[in-house]
Amino acid sequence: MSNHKISIASLLILNVLNTFGQGKTPISKPLVSHIYTADPSAHVFNGKIYIYPSHDIDAGTKEDDEGGHFDMKDYRILSMDSPTSKVKDNGVALDIKNVKWAGRQMWAPDAAYKNGTYFLYFPAKDKEDIFRIGVATSKSPIGPFKAEPEPIKGTYSIDPAVFKDSDENHYMYFGGIWGGQLQRWKDNQYQGKTDNPKKGEVARLPRIAKLSADMKSLVEEAKEVKIIDEKGNLFMENNNDKRFFEAAWVHKYKGKYYLSYSTGDTHNICYAIGDNPYGPFTYKGIVLKPVLGWTNHHSIVDFKGKTYLYYHDTEISGKTHLRNVKATELKYNIDGTIQTLESFK
């Protein structure tokens, strides 16, 4: 989502205009249709695929320019034996009523595994309506998960994504502007409610911090993750077809680190490549072109020699806040760049 002083009415109009595929067929079908799901973080645990999505509901919450109607209250984990097999809904893994510090809006989560424990990382607004990131644990990849009593110190905003490097170190990426409140933070200090980024300003950047050995805290202050063009320049806010908005995800391919993310109001999933988890990452192109709906949020995972992109659109409902997760194969060129995916056949 992106604001730039756009009213809800305008957003709805833009959403209609953004249904680029009117009369066309999406490249893939929803994985499940009995519930609404979004923001899928996919992982392979024990030879199976587990998907950790947001659980969209029609909560009846009033719409506002910060996404108040995205009022999710729990997480339900999906599992698959393979990318083409039947999908199982494993029920509620964590409910907001069991998170002591959380007030509302359980947005996009992620998961990780270490030493016999599964970790669910999730954003929610605290009792002061400020987004924080929490962690919950379980001995099973499908939960139920038990949340820690406080959010992770030093985290803020939304969209946690945990990357495990080949040296076994884990890093958390996070951040999202507009409704995700990243623009309210400077040098890891909360500035209160501030204006959204404007044309002519340097674009906001995602954050990274190394996780502790027990996976429940940060061992360092969060740092900005620089996304640059081929000349080494940071993107400006008006480069909104390429600049970061939300949904950072990192994966590794042939020794290189790939940071992919959503551009928000221009609806692309883009990617940049770097030499280490901290970056800088040099912009390379588009992973997935705009889908049906206002948002997109993805993950990339390898399974038995192939790479898959998990993402969402609004094929089932046609409504911005009631989405459905999907998957499709992702391919690389010989030089390591990613082949851009069209959203429609």
Q: Which residues are catalytic?
A: 39, 246
The number of CA neighbours under 13 Å toward the Cβ of 50 is 24
Distance, CA of 341 to CA of 308 (rounded, Å): 12
C-beta of residue 298 within 8 angstroms of C-beta of residue 313: no
DSSP letter for each residue of 136-203: EEESSTT---EE-SSPPTT--SS--EEEE-TTS-EEEEE--SGGG-GGGEETTEE--S-PPP-TTSBP
Distance, CA of 60 to CA of 65 (rounded, Å): 16
Strand order of the β-sheet with 256-262 is 227-228, 281-288, 269-274, 256-262, 246-253
Sorted by sequence, the CB contacts under 8 Å of residue 36 that are 6+ apart come out as 55, 56, 57, 316, 317, 322, 323, 324
